[in-house]
Amino acid sequence: MKEFEPMCVDEYTPVDTRNRRYYIDHIDNAISHKCILYRVAAGNSLGTHNFLWKIPMNQTEEDRISKNQEVIQKIQKDMPSYHTRAMRRAFTDRTSLICSLKPMHARNL
């Protein structure tokens, strides 16, 4: 594992939700070097994505914080975003234009 290079650990976790939670909560006991565990909640029933990266011990605290922020921003940029309200509004606007539906009826589709 390279320093400050995030790795998604979801594919290595158990399938069972209880075992997966235990695995993630105790992952720091299984790793011999200092790492950061970052969890991203996707929302709704999409679950949580878990990322892990190694951090060096010979850097100053400020350098580690800034590098960690860069890694987190990179992860957040690569994560898909879900704009359900905006998508719903765009759908109702388009359907009302195309087939002259009232927005009240388009929302029920």
Tokens at residue 62, please?
């400020």
2 located within any domain: no
Q: Are residues 15 and 40 in the same domain?
A: yes
1 located within any domain: no
Phi first, then psi: give them for residue 38, nearest 5 degrees.
-120, 125
62 located within any domain: yes
Q: Are residues 89 and 71 in the same domain?
A: no
> Measured between alpha carbons, how far is 14 from 91 in angstroms, rounded to an integer?
38
Strand 7-8 versus strand 35-41 pairing type? unpaired
49-80 per-position pLDDT tens digit: 899 999 998 889 999 999 999 999 999 888 87
23 located within any domain: yes
- 101 lies in which domain range? 83-109
When divided into structural domains, the chain yields a total of: 2
- What amino acid is encoded at 27 in this protein? I
82-108 per-position pLDDT tens digit: 667 777 777 777 777 777 666 666 666
Mean pLDDT of the chain: 84
Verdict on whether the full-model pTM lies above 0.75: no
